[in-house]
Amino acid sequence: MEDRWELRGVEFGNCNCAWGCPCQFNAPSTHGRCEAIVSGHIEDGHFNDIRLDGLDWVMLLKWPGEIAEGNGRQQVIIDESANQAQREALCKILHGESTAPGATHFFVYNSTMSEVLEPLYAPINLEIDVAARRGRTWVPDLVESEGNPILDPNSGDEFRAAIHLPEGFEYTTAEMGTGRSRVRAGIELDLDASYAQFNILHMNQDGVIR
């Protein structure tokens, strides 16, 4: 039987690019390499008959050059509260398995990997408010990541901007912000005052649900 799955929730990401992230426009990255952390909360989800409601996940990504050039490294962290069946199901989704080719960012990222590290299972503390452009991911001893609104350098007020991708493979609209992250897992990241995004995540094995 063909696997069927669906996730609906929220997502917060921070990468090393400048605000706006050229990668969102199929342009070369800011520094010629990509380093990123993406976190998500599943409000409602399933993999076949396995419920995934309420679970959190974190994905760590690192490429020595542009994403399309490959040779990346990847590791996922899954909420330790997930049972064995949920862990296996989430790993399949996050690693781009049981997914139409190119349909989701999970598939695209995984297709560029030279090394996929063993998943970690740990307590994930996650807060994401898409409208407020704020997010926080904390995994004890492994991850500290925070996203906030961009501030107007002249007025000091919060500055709002968004990216709309009607045919995007991750989201349709993402709110922009600034992020900082420190990661000490199988992949290490040190990001500061760089690109952050906050978005609704709603997709299945065939891509984004709009």
pLDDT of residue 169: 97
pLDDT above 80 (res 1): no
Res 194: pLDDT? 98
Dig out the tokens for 26 from the structure.
Answer: 């199929």
Tokens of 74: 């990847």
* Alpha helix positions (H), 17-176: 84-94, 105-111
Q: Which fold has domain 5-208?
A: Acetoacetate decarboxylase-like (2.40.400)
> Checking phi first, is residue 110 left (phi over 0); if not, alpha (psi -120 to 50) or beta?
alpha
Q: Is 92 helix (H, G, I), strand (E, B) or coil?
A: helix
Give CA separation, 187 vs 21, 165, 183, in Å. Answer: 21, 29, 7
Question: Taking the domains of the chain in order of start, what are their residue ranges?
Answer: 5-208
Instruction: Tell me the average pLDDT across 122-130.
Output: 98
Summarised one tens digit per residue, pLDDT across range 36-46 is 999 999 999 99
| Interatomic CA distance for residues 146 and 127, integer angstroms | 9
Supply the pLDDT for residue 114: 98
Confidence at residue 138, expressed as pLDDT on a 0 to 100 scale: 98
pLDDT at 54: 98
Predicted pLDDT at 100: 97
CB 67 within 8 A of CB 112: yes
Q: Quote helix, strand, coil % in the chain, to nearest 5.
A: 10, 50, 40
**Smallest Cα–Cα separation from 12: which of 143, 167, 115, 107?**
143
pTM, whole model, 2 decimals? 0.96
pLDDT at 34: 97
pLDDT of residue 62: 98
Tell me: the pLDDT tens digits for 171-208? 999 999 999 999 999 999 999 999 999 999 999 999 99
55-111 pLDDT, tens digit per residue, is: 999 999 999 999 999 999 999 999 999 999 999 999 999 999 999 999 999 999 999
Query: Does the pLDDT of residue 123 top 90, yes or no?
Result: yes
Cβ-proximal residues to 118 (8 Å cutoff; 6+ apart), any chain: 75, 186
The b/e string for 68-94 (b: 16+ C-beta within 10 A; e otherwise) is eeeebbbbbbbbeebeeebbebbbbbb
